[in-house]
Structure 1
Amino acid sequence: MDNEPTSDLTMTRIGDAVQLGRSGQKVLARDTLTALWDEIGPDGDAFHRCTLAHYLADLQDTTEAELSWDERALAAVSDLTNERAQRYLSSLQVQAFLPSLHLNLADCHRRLGNTAAAAEHLSRAREHLGHLPDDPYGEAIRTAVRDFRVDDPTDLRQ
């Protein structure tokens, strides 16, 4: 099996909306992804829910709303299997999602002044670093976790 994504209309729609956000059309991207979330529902495909929530978090106007979507992304991972993720991309490992998801939660909690929760999520991110691939993505997450400071209110997503 090669390492190319398989055809998945929902993932294509998510990717298209993410591109809208990256091109500066944040509101349209958020509205498109929110409509897709409503279509899938809170009990829909865990891979889609995790991906949607992860990207929706980045498009929120408040840290509280961002935190809510990051929590949904983490919750969806508990319903996700490697087998399901690998139907989309053969190299995906669910455990490799956890460092980034916990880092995002640590970042939100830090910006909200919840240092204990930020430290807990940072610790959880560190626990899962060994699951990251040895590639630029994995190195970027390892570096972000290494450099993260619970007492620095800088937004990692800026």
Structure 2
Amino acid sequence: MTRIGQAVMLLHGGDREEARNRFGVLWAEIGECGGALHRCTLAHYMADTQDDPEDELAWDLRALASAQGLTGSGATGAGTAPGAGARGDEGASGGTGASCGTCVSCGTGVSDGAGCSGGAAVRGGTGVPGGEGDAEHRDAHAVRAFLPSLHLALAADYFRLRRFEAARTHLDRGWEALGTLDDDGYGDGVRTALGRLERRMRGSGAGR
């Protein structure tokens, strides 16, 4: 997760090509059988480095598939969880997350209810006692909070590709998944981004 965070810092600093290269190396190392939280986070940010909208969509779909594989969720997931920063044109990229996690940019442990002082996203959990089962539960908990951002990113992808029905579906699922978020800076950022895309989508349809 530290190495993913280093690549995210490059991405946020404007070096998309180097970030894409590092994400590619990490993806090859993680492989198809890698941890779902790592795959989900990596694919979610890898999407931001793509020049082709279809490639961006493909990576966002990989991120959602990884999330659903871990949580067993269908459209939205449930429960509350540590936050993960939204990304993409419609997201709140670099927003603060919350609770029981590690900042992907600086590696700082973040306690419950607090965002990283650097304003970066929070992914996963650290410093929580327990065995492998606890770690898997914690990862699933983290990924559930990722779902609103994942659906938001997919809705934005489909909207750019003028696939309005699919965009509408994922935007609705993003709204439905908001119950996983707290009323904090990160949650507010995701809600704002969903509302922004909602306004852009009003009246969108075939031929319009």
Q: Could you state the TM-score of these two structures normalised by the residue count of structure 2? A: 0.62
Compare the two structures and name the one with the higher helix fraction. 1
In the TM superposition, what is the alpha-carbon distance from 1:20 to its structure 2 partner? 1.3
Structure 2 residues without counterparts, runs of 5 or longer: 72-78, 83-99, 102-123, 129-137
Q: CA RMSD in A?
A: 2.3
CA contact (8 A) 1:110 1:151 kept: no
CA contact (8 A) 1:115 1:151 kept: no
* Cα shift readout 1:43-66 (whole Å, capped 9, x = no counterpart): 210010001001101111111111
Identity, % of aligned pairs? 50
CA contact (8 A) 1:96 1:133 kept: no
Q: Which moved more, 1:90-99 or 1:54-63?
A: 90-99
Displacement over 4 Å in runs of 4+ = none
Structure 1 residues without counterparts, runs of 5 or longer: 1-10, 154-158
Residues of 2 paired with 1:70 and 1:28: CA distance?
19
* Cα shift readout 1:54-86 (whole Å, capped 9, x = no counterpart): 11011111111110000000000012259xx86
Q: Which moved more, 1:133-142 or 1:106-115?
A: 133-142
C-alpha change, 1:152 and 1:137, in structure 2 (3 Å) is: farther
Residues of 2 paired with 1:53 and 1:20: CA distance?
15
Aligned to 1:18: 8
Larger relative contact order, structure 1 or 2 (CA cutoff 8 Å, min sep 6): 2
The aligned length equals 141
Q: Could you state the TM-score of these two structures normalised by the residue count of structure 1? A: 0.81
Give 1:128's aligned amino acid.
Answer: A
Of 60, 64, 68, 2:54 maps to 64
Q: Which moved more, 1:17-26 or 1:104-113?
A: 17-26
Question: What secondary structure is seen at the aligned counterpart in 2 of 1:113?
Answer: coil
Q: Which moved more, 1:110-119 or 1:89-98?
A: 89-98
C-alpha change, 1:36 and 1:152, in structure 2 (3 Å) is: farther
Q: Which moved more, 1:23-32 or 1:73-82?
A: 73-82
Give 1:79's aligned amino acid.
Answer: G
